[in-house]
Structure 1
Amino acid sequence: MADETVVLGGFSHETNTFAKGTTGRPLFQERREYFGDEIPEKMRGTNTCEGGVMDVAEDEGVDLHYTVSASATPSGVVAADAYDFYTGKILEGVEAKSDDLDGVALCLHGAMVPEGMTDGEGPLVRKVRERVGPDVPIAVTLDLHGNISDELVEQADTLIAYEEYPHTDTGDTGRRAMRVLTRMMRDGLEPAMHIERPPVLAMGPKQNTREGPMAEVMDTAREYEERDDVVKVNVFPAFHQADVPSMNFSVPVVATNEDAAREASRELAAHIWERREDFIGDYPEPPEAVSRAKEIVADGATEDGPVVMADVGDNPGGGGAADGTTVLREMLDQELTNAGFAIMRDPDVVEQCVEAGVGERVTVDVGGKTDDMHGDPIEGVDGYVKAITDGEFENTGPMGTGSENHLGRAVHLQCGHEDGVSVILTENRMQPLDAEIWRHVGIQPERLDTLVVKSTNHFRADYEPMSCEVIPINSIGLVSMDPRNFDFDHIPRPQFPLDEMAAEEYPDWE
């Protein structure tokens, strides 16, 4: 018989407040919506926070009570009724086990913005706290891109964030959180937390934890965790596509006492401030990037693998429309050969291709139909319908391994001549971070000379090992890599590089 009972719930969304429209329940259903016993059935053994929590619970003999696991592709603010629905499912599970509840594990994101609110996670955890009281510990897992509010820090007992970007450690994050929760339930651990917010906004590619300033910051965080009193050093470079008061680089530290938490948090925050210039860089725009790729191919370097380019500005993983055309237009205009492009969300063109059938040619206007921020439609594209699928596949790479994907209907459209640009057209938005998206439409990505993915850094986990060179593209869109491209009304100011700041302006601690 299990020693403790823990309620497990998951509700995750990275909200781009600059995106139009709301994110309702249908968009969660499009990506992931599991209830009760569906959660272990679908997620046990997967590289997800829920999967990691289950691993440790099973090893430690903890009984999990499953509520909901819901996640939608990043997009506009979460509709009020959807927020209330999923929050209600978690609260129902807490109330159902109120008589014998020992702990709560919540797999959240940290950058959710519900309709009419500025923070989704803090109020959710507060409602859980109101039901369980002060003595039942609450452990929360968070995406590295969380915008961490004071309310979330105050209401949770411990925050455990991803340490890697690309997020290949989601399962490990769940395991870390469940181990800390077990210590609280069994060993009397009573964590203290302190948060500092260095006024630095990092460009998207500079948040990559595998190299550059973020790699060094993360190494330093791990060194601090070797201190006797420090439990977890969390580092959040922020999600700057959210114009909310909590949008800030932040360092919440979990320790056995307030002094240890404060000391580590302040030291690391000061270090980040000192390296602020390193979080800004120069990256090529589409014409230059595509031209550079052509040069690399001409030099024969692709014998070691394709050139992989990232269409950062239209990354659906950050709320992009996924129908931006600026990069694809350059690929067609510069007549790239043996090239691939993923993805282009265009349900109308998918329907036209399905009606034409595999083996037929079509002339279509591709992309640029969501808004005026991602480029105009590419008119009169001549293409050959190479394959049509149901858009269903599982991740085989390091991120979210084993997780299901639902593209809606998907089409492999070969544009131009026989050896031109192969485009993956979809009905749904999804970041093509796993290379299985190519294979499921009959393309072997390793054999391409050039491929483009709408992603910022997540693609690196699966694609970088097969590539000869990686080129992040400074493309337009709702996920522009540079925070200076956004008009903010609600974030804390001043912030580097948005504002001129004297070195002595930070830190300013009481």
Structure 2
Amino acid sequence: MPESRPVIAVAGLGIESSTFSPARTGAAAFHPRRGADVLTRYPFLAPGQPLRAAADWRGALVGKALPGGTVTSTAYAELAAELLNSLSDLGPVDGLWYDIHGAMTVEGLDDAEAQLLQRIREVVGPRVLVSTSMDLHGNVSRELVHQSDLITCYRTAPHEDAMDTKERAARNLVDLLTSGAPRPAKAWIPVPVLLAGEQTSTRIEPAKSVYAAVDEVAAADGVTDAAIWVGYAWADEPRNRAAVVVTGPSPDAVAAGAERLAGGFWKARHTFDFVAPTATLDECLDAALASTARPYFVSDTGDNPTAGGAGDVTWGLRQVLERPELKDPSGPTVIYASLPGPRAVDAAVAAGVGATVTVTAGAEVDDRHAGPLTLTGEVHAVRHGDRDAETEVVLRVGSVHVILTRLRKPYHHEHDFTGLELDPRAADVVIVKIGYLEPELFAMAADWKMALTPGGVDQELTRLGHRRIRRPLFPFDPEMPDPDLTARLIAPSNKPLTGPDE
């Protein structure tokens, strides 16, 4: 390959961290990849792909963790130090692709991603161009925009365009480096709205139309990319709010595009609603058991491990097992996913499939809503080797098939169930610790409700107890005046940033 190809490093740490969960996240949870192994995360950087050939890609360290609690200061220090050392060892680079989530909270640190990028720039130098890719549930501070030259995020929720977004961020960086164009203009607008992802799904209006406008703005002359971030509702930092960023060669075009998107988001604030009908868990179960729609899905939303919940809240499962119609094995077939309990899993594995065991699980991390749950049932299945759960067992308690895991795990795919000798399509009711249903589950569900249950990612945001978010903020201040939604043109990353973070 020609020596003129730009040299691009790839680095980043990604997690959604709920500050309302007592859980803590360690370094191992990020499953970090290093060196050349980093590139294997991205199909568009596989050997033979055009984008791979367009630059000399060099992996530093990329770690992505299942959403969870606040990252420990020790874990962050360890991972950040290794990432920075790896970048230093790579030698001079022309560009950096910064692949993050945007909602990482670290003990004792605000705006962790911006702080890490600032440290990265101290290693790679001010001339290096940075393209940042994010989840739309991340948070975008003025400092993060300043430290980035290009920045973008997903345009769908659920995130069916995650890999497309990453590829766009990488391609935009290659195009900028090979064109020789100056650093892009960047228009940033903080939007004082903070809503849960389940209230802003692009499956339904108004988010469907709000996000459709992103493509239109991104296609305008003088614009390279456009993005709207909903923000992350289950953490309590000043940066937690919605934001808009538009980048491109024309300051006028990016400013106009940003103001259009910010205005559209703000105007729609009162019409955002949950993506499915919501009710108490008992009301959801009443509806599910009375319905003829099968399978009927119920989301146990408050402890969703893919939004940052600890995953081990027993409150929901306790309510399910107390239902009299589910105590008999001949009752309606119910699947419950899931509850961590390492000792319970060990006991079930030791007893073997077909054995009856009494075990206790849950509430080892989050016991605020209910204590550990003791249950007696027949071991239906055992599976080893899962990346997240490590070991899974199914315990049949009455007519409820309870999935117990060594470590918490999300259940998003049909094979998550069929690999445990469960058939979700034939079940009467499937209860999953999740918010909006991921695509496979959504396609499978004949009907669906979201149960407003307690936990670290409670959908009732106003009862969580935010103390540090910037006020006024909708919906915490429903009658707040209209904000200033004029575009803030952010200084290039190689120039000083001045002025307030508004």
Maintained 8 Å contact 2:20/2:457: no
Inter-partner Cα distance in structure 1 for 2:196 and 2:144: 25
Superposed displacement of residue 473, structure 1 = 1.4
Aligned to 1:185: 177
- Give CA-to-partner distance per residue, 1:367-404, whole Å, 9 cap, x none: 3343333434444x221101111142xxxxxxxxxxxx
Inter-partner Cα distance in structure 2 for 1:22 and 1:291: 35
Inter-partner Cα distance in structure 1 for 2:486 and 2:8: 40
Is 1:149 paired with 2:144?
no
Secondary structure of residue in 2 paired with 1:200: coil
Maintained 8 Å contact 1:165/1:208: yes
Alignment equivalent of 2:212, drawn from 196, 199, 219? 219
Inter-partner Cα distance in structure 1 for 2:27 and 2:307: 18
Secondary structure of residue in 2 paired with 1:220: helix
Structure 1 unaligned residues grouped into runs of 5+: 46-50, 393-404
Superposed displacement of residue 20, structure 1 = 2.1
Task: Mark the CA change 1:84 to 1:319 in structure 2 (over 3 Å): closer, same or farther.
Answer: same
Aligned to 1:492: 470
Inter-partner Cα distance in structure 2 for 1:97 and 1:193: 29
Inter-partner Cα distance in structure 2 for 1:313 and 1:159: 31
Secondary structure of residue in 1 paired with 2:192: coil
Task: Mark the CA change 1:60 to 1:191 in structure 2 (over 3 Å): closer, same or farther.
Answer: farther
Maintained 8 Å contact 2:188/2:243: yes
Alignment equivalent of 2:68, drawn from 59, 70, 75? 75
Alignment equivalent of 2:59, drawn from 21, 42, 66? 66
Is 1:422 paired with 2:424?
no
Maintained 8 Å contact 1:8/1:106: yes
Instruction: Give the letter aligned to residue 408 of structure 2.
Output: R
- Equivalent positions of 1:334-353 (< 5 A) are 334=323, 335-336=325-326, 337-353=332-348
> Please, what TM-score do these two structures have when normalized by structure 2?
0.89
Inter-partner Cα distance in structure 2 for 1:85 and 1:422: 40
Alignment equivalent of 1:411, drawn from 377, 393, 401? 393
- Give CA-to-partner distance per residue, 1:320-348, whole Å, 9 cap, x none: 12122333233333334211111111122
Superposed displacement of residue 67, structure 1 = 1.4
Inter-partner Cα distance in structure 1 for 2:268 and 2:445: 29
Task: Mark the CA change 1:450 to 1:243 in structure 2 (over 3 Å): closer, same or farther.
Answer: same
- Give CA-to-partner distance per residue, 1:306-328, whole Å, 9 cap, x none: 11111110001122121223332
- Give CA-to-partner distance per residue, 1:445-469, whole Å, 9 cap, x none: 2221211111112x33111111111
Alignment equivalent of 1:16, drawn from 15, 18, 23? 18
Aligned to 2:461: 483
Secondary structure of residue in 1 paired with 2:195: coil
Aligned to 1:136: 128
Is 1:325 paired with 2:314?
yes
Maintained 8 Å contact 1:310/1:473: yes
CA-based RMSD of the aligned residues comes to 2.2
Secondary structure of residue in 1 paired with 2:56: strand
Maintained 8 Å contact 2:393/2:405: yes
Residues 275-284 or 109-118, more deviating: 275-284
- Equivalent positions of 1:61-210 (< 5 A) are 61-99=54-92, 101-189=93-181, 190-210=183-203
Inter-partner Cα distance in structure 2 for 1:348 and 1:20: 21
Inter-partner Cα distance in structure 2 for 1:55 and 1:320: 40
Superposed displacement of residue 413, structure 1 = 1.0
Instruction: Give the letter aligned to residue 386 of structure 1.
Output: H
Inter-partner Cα distance in structure 2 for 1:433 and 1:12: 19
Aligned to 2:284: 289
Maintained 8 Å contact 2:23/2:366: no
Instruction: Give the letter aligned to residue 448 of structure 1.
Output: A
Task: Mark the CA change 1:472 to 1:54 in structure 2 (over 3 Å): closer, same or farther.
Answer: farther
Residues 368-377 or 166-175, more deviating: 368-377
Inter-partner Cα distance in structure 2 for 1:377 and 1:241: 24
Maintained 8 Å contact 1:342/1:424: yes
Superposed displacement of residue 444, structure 1 = 2.2
Instruction: Give the letter aligned to residue 415 of structure 1.
Output: V
Task: Mark the CA change 1:59 to 1:65 in structure 2 (over 3 Å): closer, same or farther.
Answer: closer
> Please, what TM-score do these two structures have when normalized by structure 1?
0.88
Inter-partner Cα distance in structure 1 for 2:22 and 2:433: 19
Task: Mark the CA change 1:257 to 1:23 in structure 2 (over 3 Å): closer, same or farther.
Answer: same
Inter-partner Cα distance in structure 2 for 1:199 and 1:10: 27
Aligned to 1:34: 33
Maintained 8 Å contact 2:61/2:83: yes
Instruction: Give the letter aligned to residue 280 of structure 2.
Output: E
Inter-partner Cα distance in structure 1 for 2:465 and 2:448: 29
Is 1:438 paired with 2:438?
no
Instruction: Give the letter aligned to residue 346 of structure 1.
Output: G
Residues 157-166 or 426-435, more deviating: 426-435
Superposed displacement of residue 294, structure 1 = 0.8
Maintained 8 Å contact 2:67/2:305: yes
Task: Mark the CA change 1:52 to 1:384 in structure 2 (over 3 Å): closer, same or farther.
Answer: farther
Maintained 8 Å contact 1:309/1:472: yes
Residues 486-495 or 329-338, more deviating: 329-338
Aligned to 2:383: 389
Aligned to 1:451: 430
Aligned to 2:495: none
Superposed displacement of residue 502, structure 1 = 4.1
Inter-partner Cα distance in structure 1 for 2:385 and 2:357: 20
Superposed displacement of residue 174, structure 1 = 1.4
Secondary structure of residue in 2 paired with 1:253: strand
Superposed displacement of residue 279, structure 1 = 2.2
Task: Mark the CA change 1:503 to 1:34 in structure 2 (over 3 Å): closer, same or farther.
Answer: same
Maintained 8 Å contact 1:79/1:114: yes
Superposed displacement of residue 4, structure 1 = 2.1
Instruction: Give the letter aligned to residue 350 of structure 1.
Output: V
- Give CA-to-partner distance per residue, 1:169-223, whole Å, 9 cap, x none: 2211111011100111111343221211221122331121111222121111112
Inter-partner Cα distance in structure 2 for 1:188 and 1:34: 31
Structure 2 unaligned residues grouped into runs of 5+: 327-331, 489-502
Maintained 8 Å contact 1:324/1:368: yes
Inter-partner Cα distance in structure 2 for 1:184 and 1:168: 26
Task: Mark the CA change 1:54 to 1:325 in structure 2 (over 3 Å): closer, same or farther.
Answer: farther
